Structure 1
Amino acid sequence: MNDIRTESHGVPWEETYGYVQAIRRGNTIYLSGQVSHDGPELVAPAPLDDAGAVTDFANMAAQMRQCYANAAELLGRFGASMDDVVDELIFVLDSDTGGAAAEEVRKEVYGKPVPQLASTIIGTPRLAFPELLVEIKLVAVV
């Protein structure tokens, strides 16, 4: 049975890099790392110094919320929701700020004090765009 379907946001970097935002195979939906954007515009971009380094991590929670909003929108196209997520991988530029933001935002997004899914958070030196502070990859089962 060839039960495969894909979805994208239609942003330029999908074609440039060459990928889809989500693919459903059978009853599993795999989401590519979601970043903080609304269309092609970044949401709550981090301020940068003259060398292109992030100078402030205060927008971490705002970016995280947008990542989850983008993920929820994609899942909805498959008739799924954040309730169907079984695994998440969160990449953050600053582990302390990212961990604090995740503690708050994840509870909002999943609507539970202890979201019922596997979760990993990893500190990384840089993401796809210098203004990004967080990227979230999800797997859902429907």
Structure 2
Amino acid sequence: MRQNISSGAPWEDQVGYCRAVRIGNTIEVSGTAPVVDGQTAGGNAYEQTKICLEIIKNAIEEAGGKIEDVIRTRMYVTDISQWVAIGKAHGEVFSQIKPATTMVEVSALIEPDMLIEIEATAIIE
């Protein structure tokens, strides 16, 4: 059985995706940017990372999971020199969970003021 979790963003229908999908005990969370009320939120990499992770947590919970179920994150950043601030925010959420993770620098995200986008995979035990 498939459960689609929508963020309500207008571009979900335009692009053809949703915030997260749960099939069985697996939840995949789409690339999540720091968007609140249709606008990029957070002024720096640390704040934007925190916002992304909160959006991810909410999607996982809506799908019936919890943040502790996350087994993998992928972080796409526009400035890898900000890895310490990004890592700090990630660690505040995942220091005890310790999912597999990746952080890579990309040339750009969909909006120029976005510094990070994060994907997550969760498996509910």
TM-score normalised by length of structure 2: 0.93
- Asked if 2 retains the 8 angstrom alpha-carbon contact of 1:95 and 1:123, the reply is yes
Q: Is 1:141 matched with 2:117? A: no
Aligned with residue 73 of structure 1, among 58, 63, 84? 58
Calculate percent identity across the aligned residue pairs.
27
* Aligned-partner residue type, residue 113 of structure 2: E
Which runs of 5 or more residues in structure 2 are unaligned? none
Please give the alpha-carbon distance, in whole angstroms, between the structure 1 residues aligned to 2:31 and 2:37.
15
Q: Which has the larger radius of gyration?
A: 1
Segments ≥4 residues shifted beyond 4 Å: none
Per-residue CA deviation, residues 55-100 of structure 1 (Å, 9 max, x unaligned), is xxxx111110000010011011022121100011000000111x11
- Asked if 2 retains the 8 angstrom alpha-carbon contact of 1:9 and 1:39, the reply is no
SS of 2:22's partner is strand
Q: Is 1:120 matched with 2:102? A: yes
Deviation at 1:40, TM superposition (A): 1.4
Please give the alpha-carbon distance, in whole angstroms, between the structure 1 residues aligned to 2:99 and 2:42.
27
* Aligned-partner residue type, residue 118 of structure 1: A
- What is the total number of aligned residue pairs between the two structures? 124
Which deviates more, 118-127 or 7-16? 7-16
In the other structure, the counterpart of 1:106 is 90
Which runs of 5 or more residues in structure 1 are unaligned? 46-58
SS of 2:102's partner is strand
Please give the alpha-carbon distance, in whole angstroms, between the structure 1 residues aligned to 2:33 and 2:10.
14
Question: Superposition pairs for residues 88-107 of structure 1, below 5 Å?
Answer: 88-97=73-82, 99-107=83-91
Please give the alpha-carbon distance, in whole angstroms, between the structure 2 residues aligned to 1:81 and 1:129.
29
In the other structure, the counterpart of 1:8 is 6
Deviation at 1:111, TM superposition (A): 4.7
